[in-house]
């Protein structure tokens, strides 16, 4: 062994949520664990720390309390239909079934035992557009966002009764796996910064290094065929080290890596004004009462775009529009009630547990976020009139692509449809808003048929939105114990994978669409299973 070499029972590459969950389980079983991460110590918990903090459960106690009729059977049938998981996807399907059956006891109840609390009303996202999505609300938002989730899980690790068996290494980049007689026997890599080589010999190795979506070139290479060509600008909404390095190392060790084109990217990204990585983007939760226009200012249609139904389809539609980006047109009143950003950073009221502030924002609008976005974002323009707004939109893109006539036409038709009254709403966006508002969780966040050119609701606002990369739903193929599989289903002895690296289990348990909340949930679920077996 070289200098800098050590040994452990279990070596885990990646200290995100999946790696931490795996480490806890391995410690529970008295194993000596080394948890290695390329990032700094403060980033323990990985992307979960920045996440919004929604988890997917079917048949949870909260759903029962809210009178939501859900079950494992309904959840699984929605899952298969939405993800379009075929019989040939045997391991992804097996993982999906296992997650749906076990997510309440193994994820929900475990988190509750760690002190996690959920917001009182599950949210209803990914309802499905042309086929089933979530038939009922299932997105359980952690009170405290992903920050509280990661902090609690980290605290369990750092305060573990067998803490003495744990070695933590930050600033260590894993590059490869060592093998002997066809079995994986450890990992090696270099320190960052410094470039000092290190090596750990171990009985088992767990890959928990996240997905590929932090490397935009890789995202482009594995672009899904439904999405036509990748757009010129794709923002980065993933981890800066989610670069697929260990997917390559796993492949070199004989692993099967599947479905990398199953990516969960979003349609409404804007540039972060305090970027922490190249192309750093923020994913907006697109206002449902805004008009979604293409680069020319034409309303995208004939089926208008409305978020909350099918994110995969939104990305597909935007990519087919000229320029591969879009605009959302709204006014201040809509922005105050509906505009939101996914993640812990821009939801301080929920993140910091400030209930009064949260209630005030729900009732009177989120003024803090409105100010923050309009003051800082280079992708947002405002004006008192449509013609001025279009001038500013064109100034932003430094051309005359947005046509005033197209924008006026879209706005006047939409506003006129609203003015005819709900009994005569023949616009698909208005029909969907009506349906959304029937669920209290959406009603409180969605305007009641707000016209765009309402003088009392101004100023007008246009947001330029780019596709933003986020989650890898495909990945390293694993069996139900988390063991990495090679060609023909052969087990690669000693090698395990969990979390986003493994497509949350089986190399793609969501299929090509995810019901949302299945990512954090999937990391805990697969991390725990893998840690138990490694
Ligand atoms: C803003 C935002 C909001 C989100 N909201 C939600 C939500 O509400 N619900 C939901 O389900 N999901 C959400 N997600 C997704 C979810 O957070 C991630 O899918 C999940 O946290 C991934 O966890 P992981 O442990 O698999 O990987 P990561 O969190 O990516 O952790 C991987 C770790 O591995 C390390 N690493 C990478 N390469 C190496 C290497 N070569 N050597 C050593 N270490 C390495 C990284 O530094 C990192 O710490 C959100 C994500 C973001 C960014």
- Give 491-508 pLDDT, tens digit per residue: 999 999 999 999 999 999
Q: How far apart are CA 76 and CA 470, in angstroms?
A: 24
Read off the pTM: 0.97
Tokens standing for residue 284: 């907006």
Coil, strand, or helix at residue 193? Answer: coil
The pLDDT of residue 488 is: 86
* Ligand 1 pocket mutation, candidates 519, 525, 530, criterion most atoms within 8 A of CB: 519
The mean pLDDT value for 263-292 works out to 98
Paired with 8 in beta bridges are 202
Residue 377, judged by CB atoms within 10 A of its CB (0-12, 13-18, 19+), counts as middle
Q: Is the CB of 255 under 6 A from ligand 1?
A: no
Cα Rg of the chain (Å, integer) = 23
Closest residue to atom 52 of ligand 1, CA basis:
51
Q: How far is CA 246 from CA 360, 454, 525, in A?
A: 45, 53, 21
Could you tell me if 25 and 54 are in contact, meaning their C-beta atoms sit under 8 angstroms apart? no
- Which of 12, 39, 51, 242 gets mutated to test ligand 1 (max ligand atoms within 8 A of its CB)? 51
**Which residue's entry shows tokens 């804007």?**
270
Q: What's the maximum distance between 2 C-alpha atoms anywhere in the chain?
A: 78
Ligand 1 pocket, 468 CB below 6 A?
no
The answer to whether the CB of 522 is under 6 A from ligand 1 is: no
The rounded distance, in Å, linking the Cα atoms of 246 and 100 is 28
Instruction: Give the mean model confidence (pLDDT) for residues 405-411.
Output: 98
CA atoms within 13 A on the CB side of 12: 35
Task: Work out the number of other CB atoms within 10 angstroms of the CB of residue 162.
Answer: 15
* Distance between Cα 463 and ligand 1 center (Å): 27
Distance between CA atoms of residues 530 and 146, nearest Å: 22
Q: Could you tell me if 484 and 246 are in contact, meaning their C-beta atoms sit under 8 angstroms apart? A: no
For residue 487, what pLDDT is reported?
A: 87
- 35-69, pLDDT tens digit by residue? 999 999 999 999 999 999 999 999 999 999 999 99
CA nearest neighbour of 23 among 173, 209, 154, 127 = 154
Pick from 210, 282, 344 the residue to mutate for probing ligand 1's pocket: most ligand atoms within 8 Å of its CB: 210
Residues 182, 186, 192: CA angle, nearest 5 degrees: 135
Q: How far is the CA of 239 from the centre of ligand 1 (A)?
A: 6
Residue 504 CB less than 6 A away from ligand 1: no
What is the rounded CA–CA span in Å between residue 126 and residue 433? 14
CA distance 160 to 27: 8
31: tokens are: 């194993």
Q: How far is the CA of 530 from the centre of ligand 1 (A)?
A: 17
pLDDT tens per residue, range 466-497: 999 999 999 999 999 999 999 889 999 999 99
Confidence of residue 1 (pLDDT cuts 50, 70, 90): very low
Does the CB atom of residue 500 touch ligand 1 within 6 A?
yes
Q: Give, as one character, the DSSP assignment of residue 44.
A: T
> Nearest 5 degrees, angle CA 156-CA 162-CA 164?
110
Q: Which atom of ligand 1 is nearest to the CA of 518?
A: 11
- Report the pLDDT value the prediction gives residue 533, as an integer from 0 to 100: 97
- Confidence band of 6 (pLDDT split at 50, 70, 90): confident
The answer to whether the CB of 249 is under 6 A from ligand 1 is: no
Interval 106-131 mean pLDDT: 97
- Which ligand 1 atom is at minimum distance from the Cα of 54? 8
Residue 3 confidence class, pLDDT cut points 50, 70, 90: very low
Q: Is the CB of 38 under 6 A from ligand 1?
A: yes
| Whether the CB of 56 sits within 6 Å of ligand 1 | no
Task: Output the CA 48–ligand 1 centroid distance in Å.
Answer: 6
Binned at pLDDT 50, 70 and 90, residue 2 comes out as: very low
pLDDT in tens, 145-180: 999 999 999 999 999 999 999 999 999 999 999 999
Atom of ligand 1 nearest to the CA of 239: 30
Query: How would residue 4 be classed by pLDDT, with cut points 50, 70 and 90?
Result: low
For residue 519, pLDDT over 80 is answered with: yes
516 torsion bin: left (phi>0), alpha (psi -120 to 50), beta (else): left
What is the tens place of the pLDDT at every residue in 373-398? Answer: 999 999 999 999 999 999 999 999 99
Check pLDDT > 80 for residue 31. Answer: yes
Please tell me if the CB atom of residue 37 comes closer than 6 angstroms to any atom of ligand 1.
yes
Residue 246 Cβ contacting ligand 1 at under 6 Å: yes
Task: Using alpha carbons, list the distances in angstroms from residue 38 to 35, 41, 51, 175, 484.
Answer: 10, 9, 19, 10, 22
Contact by Cβ (8 Å): 475, 482 = no
In the reported structure, the alpha carbon of residue 461 is separated from the centroid of ligand 1 by a whole-number distance in angstroms of 33
Please name every residue paired with 11 in a beta bridge, in sequence order, or none if there are none.
34, 205
Mean pLDDT estimate for the chain: 97
Q: Whose CA is nearest to atom 35 of ligand 1?
A: 14
* Phi, psi (deg, nearest 5) at residue 355: -65, -40
Which atom of ligand 1 is least distant from the CA of 245?
Answer: 41
pLDDT at 515: 98
Q: How far apart are CA 401 and CA 258, in angstroms?
A: 40
Cα-to-centroid distance, 321 and ligand 1 (Å): 30
Q: Ligand 1: does its nearest atom lie under 6 Å from the Cβ of 224?
A: no
User: 214 CB less than 6 Å from ligand 1?
Assistant: no
Ligand 1: atom nearest CA of 522 is 11
């Amino acid at each position: 062994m070289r200098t800098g070499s050590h040994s452990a029972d279990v070596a885990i590459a990646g200290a995100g949520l999946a790696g931490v969950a795996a480490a806890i389980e391995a410690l529970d079983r008295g194993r000596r664990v080394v948890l290695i991460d390329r990032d700094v110590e403060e980033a323990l918990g990985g992307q979960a720390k920045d996440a919004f903090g929604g988890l997917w459960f079917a048949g949870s106690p909260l759903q029962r309390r809210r009178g939501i009729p859900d079950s494992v059977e309904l959840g699984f049938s929605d899952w298969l239909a939405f993800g379009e998981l075929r019989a040939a996807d045997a391991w992804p399907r097996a993982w999906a079934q296992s997650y749906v059956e076990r997510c309440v006891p193994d994820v929900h109840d475990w988190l509750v035992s760690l002190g996690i609390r959920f917001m009182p009303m599950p949210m209803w996202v990914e309802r499905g557009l042309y086929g089933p999505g979530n038939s009922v609300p299932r997105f359980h938002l952690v009170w405290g966002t992903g920050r509280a989730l990661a902090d609690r899980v980290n605290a369990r690790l750092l305060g573990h009764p067998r803490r003495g068996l744990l070695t933590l290494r930050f600033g260590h980049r894993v590059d490869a796996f060592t093998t002997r007689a066809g079995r994986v026997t450890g990992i090696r890599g270099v320190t960052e910064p410094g470039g000092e080589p290190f090596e750990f010999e171990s009985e088992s190795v767990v890959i928990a290094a996240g997905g590929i979506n932090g490397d935009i070139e890789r995202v482009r290479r594995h672009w899904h065929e439904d999405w036509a060509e990748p757009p010129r600008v794709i923002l980065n909404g993933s981890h800066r080290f989610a670069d697929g390095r260990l997917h390559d190392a796993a492949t070199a060790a004989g692993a099967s890596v599947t479905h990398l084109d199953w990516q969960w990217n979003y349609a409404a990204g804007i540039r972060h004004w305090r970027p922490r990585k190249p192309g750093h983007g923020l994913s907006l939760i697109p206002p449902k009462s805004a008009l979604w226009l293409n680069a020319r200012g034409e309303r995208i249609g004939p089926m208008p775009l409305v978020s909350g139904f099918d994110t995969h389809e939104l990305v597909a539609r935007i990519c087919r529009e000229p320029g591969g980006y879009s605009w959302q047109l709204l006014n201040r009143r809509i922005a105050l009630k509906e505009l939101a950003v996914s993640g812990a950073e821009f939801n301080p009221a929920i993140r910091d547990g400030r209930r009064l502030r949260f209630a005030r924002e729900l009732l009177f609008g989120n003024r803090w976020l409105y100010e923050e976005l309009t003051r800082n974002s280079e992708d947002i323009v405002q004006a008192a009139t449509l013609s001025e707004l279009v001038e500013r939109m064109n100034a932003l893109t430094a051309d005359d692509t947005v046509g005033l006539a197209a924008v006026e036409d879209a706005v006047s038709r939409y506003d006129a449809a609203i003015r005819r009254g709900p009994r005569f709403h023949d616009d698909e966006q208005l029909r969907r808003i009506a349906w959304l508002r029937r669920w209290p969780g959406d009603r409180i966040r969605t305007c009641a048929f707000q016209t765009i050119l309402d003088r009392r609701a101004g100023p007008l606002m246009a947001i330029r939105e780019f596709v933003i990369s986020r989650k890898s739903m495909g990945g390293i193929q694993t069996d139900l114990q988390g063991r990495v599989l090679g060609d023909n289903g052969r087990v690669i002895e000693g090698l395990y994978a969990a979390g986003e690296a493994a497509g949350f289990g089986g190399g793609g348990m969501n299929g090509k669409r995810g019901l949302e909340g299945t990512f954090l949930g999937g990391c805990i679920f697969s991390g725990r299973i893998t840690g138990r077996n490694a």
